[in-house]
Chain A
Amino acid sequence: AGDISHLASIVILLHKIYTSHSCRGISFKTQALYVLVFLTRYLDLFWHWVSLYNTAMKVFFIASSVYVLYLMKYKYRPTHDPSIDTFKVEYLLGPCLILGLIFNYEFKFTEILWSFSIWLEAVAILPQLFMLQRTGEAEAITTHYLAALGAYRALYIPNWIWRYFGDNVVDPIAVVAGLVQTGLYLDFFYVYFTKVLQGQKFELPA
């Protein structure tokens, strides 16, 4: 369910860009961070086979995130306003690299990158949320995108509990980062459920 929600979020994002011929309201910085997240985590595509499903999803997430970046940078460039997308990503990249160096399952390059990508994914939404807060409102379709994206990691949580009891497996790095990631959406979810899903416009209180 988490993966499908993630998949759906990207389909909604592409649908929004296509139908409005615009990437207004979408943070380029957040999208660029996702490319970095997928490239650093899914490098194992080349040596660690899990399943056809796993491989297909990895390829899709890398390809679609690069494609979104292309759409924003070239095809719909005039519709992107960098002056409201001002979050400093350095504040995220540095700490995530440090977290990757401290918390990892083996002190080797690919494992550090994996951990880095997990932490970075947890906070990659911040430029987007920061932008949302600056503009104070969003198109409904954009909020559906964010809701699906936020729900994705939240839906992993029951699965982690299931695996803890069922398979006796726990991945503390993914769990802690996943909880942080989900937590960052709580404010957004509150407004989404109380306004957008009640048919009102997404507007933040002044």
Chain B
Amino acid sequence: DDLPVFHDEL
């Protein structure tokens, strides 16, 4: 996963 930031929050 190469997303620049986590984006694991809602």
Q: Give A residues with C-beta under 8 Å from B.
A: 3, 6, 44, 48, 50-51, 54, 57-58, 61, 105-106, 111, 114, 156, 169, 171, 174
Supply 18 A–B pairs (Cβ within 8 Å), ascending by A.
Answer: A3-B10, A6-B10, A48-B7, A50-B7, A50-B8, A51-B8, A54-B8, A54-B10, A57-B10, A105-B3, A105-B4, A105-B5, A111-B4, A114-B7, A156-B9, A169-B6, A171-B6, A174-B9
Interface residue total, chain B, C-beta cutoff 8 A: 9
- In the complex, the answer to whether B7 meets A106 with C-beta atoms within 8 Å is no
- In the complex, the answer to whether B5 meets A171 with C-beta atoms within 8 Å is yes
Q: How far is the CB of A22 from chain B (nearest CB, A)?
A: 29
Q: How far is the CB of B7 from chain A (nearest CB, A)?
A: 7
